[in-house]
Amino acid sequence: MKINTQLFKAGGSIVLVISLLSALYSFSIQDEKKRIVFFGDSITAGYGLSTEQAFPALIQSKLDSSKMDYQVINAGLSGETSAGGLNRIDWILKAKPDIFVLELGGNDGLRGLSLDETEKNLTIMIQKVRTRNPDVILFLSGMQIPPNLGQEYTERFRTLFAKVAKANNTELIPFLLDKVGGEPELNLPDGIHPNVEGHHIVAETVWKNLKKYLD
C-alpha cells in the first residue's frame, strides 16, 4: 500500500494533503500483512525521482520477490525536520507498524538547528512508536553533514544517532548514505539527494540491516 501525498505551497508554507479515508481503508483490508514504515525526509521521499524509484519502493520489490508478506509505507516528506516529524508522527502510527525506520535529523543538521532539540525529538518519536506497538522493531538511520558549521557541531551531529539508538535500545543503520554520500555520480546535481543508482545502493544498505528481522 502506498500513501498518496501531494505537496502544495500555500501562503509560503507547505501543506501535506493525505488521502486519509483511502489510506485507512487500505490498512483495514490488508491487516494480515505486516507493515514496514519508512518515516523520513526527502531521502525517504525520493526527492527528484518518482516514488517507485525511491529506496522504500525498492525494499518492497525485494520483499515481493522473496515472497515475504510485508506492506511498505513510504512516509517521507521533503524538507522535514525532527520537529516536523514529531508533529505528524501520530497520524502514521495509526498503521501500527511492525517495523519502523526513522530517518530524520538530516535537515536539522543542514540548518544548524539545536542538536539538543534534535536528540529530544528523535527520542520522543521512538517512545511514541513503542507506545503504539511495544513489539515493534525500530531502526534509527544515521546521517552525516558537511563541516560547514564547524568541526564540533559536525562531529556531535555524526555521533548523535548512535547515542540516541543506544539510549533507547534501538537498531542503528550507522550511515544511510553509505557509499553514496559525497559521490557525484550517485547523486542529483544538488550533491545531496541520491539519484536512481544511488537509491539502489541505499536500498541495499537498508536491506542488509532489515533482512535478519524479516520472517
Q: Give the CATH number of the domain where residue 126 resides.
A: 3.40.50.1110
Tell me, what's the pLDDT at 4? 37
Long-range interactions of 87-95: CB distance < 8 A, separation 24+: 88/16, 89/39, 89/125, 89/128, 89/129, 90/128, 91/18, 91/20, 92/37, 92/39, 93/128, 93/129, 93/132, 94/24, 94/27, 95/27, 95/35, 95/37
Kindly state whether residue 83 falls inside one of the protein's structural domains.
yes
Three-point CA angle 165, 166, 170, nearest 5° = 45
Mean pLDDT of the residues in the chain: 89
Contact 36, 102 (CB under 8 A): no
Is 26 within the bounds of a domain? no
Name the catalytic one among 28, 50, 135, 190: 190
pTM as predicted: 0.87
The answer to whether residue 113 is domain-embedded is yes
199 is catalytic: no
Per the residue annotation, which of 41, 82, 193, 199 is the catalytic one? 193
| Residue 19: predicted pLDDT | 34
Number of structural domains in the chain: 1
Q: Given the C-alpha cell 505537496, which residue does it identify?
A: 7
Does the annotation count 200 as an active-site position?
no
Return the pLDDT at 31.
Answer: 62
Domain that holds residue 64: 5-21+36-213
Looking at 66-191, list the stretches that DSSP marks H as alpha helix, in order from N- to C-terminal side: 82-92, 106-110, 115-132, 151-167
Give me the catalytic one of 41, 42, 98, 108.
42
At residue 30, the pLDDT reads 53
190 flagged as catalytic: yes
In a structure prediction context, what are the per-residue pLDDT tens digits for the chain, which is 215 residues long?
333 333 333 333 343 334 333 444 455 445 678 999 999 999 999 999 999 999 999 999 999 999 999 999 999 999 999 999 999 999 999 999 999 999 999 999 999 999 999 999 999 999 999 999 999 999 999 999 999 999 999 999 999 999 999 999 999 999 999 999 999 999 999 999 999 999 999 999 999 999 999 97
Residue 30 domain flag? no
In a domain, 27, yes or no: no
31 domain-assigned: no
Considering the domain boundaries, does residue 74 fall inside one? Answer: yes
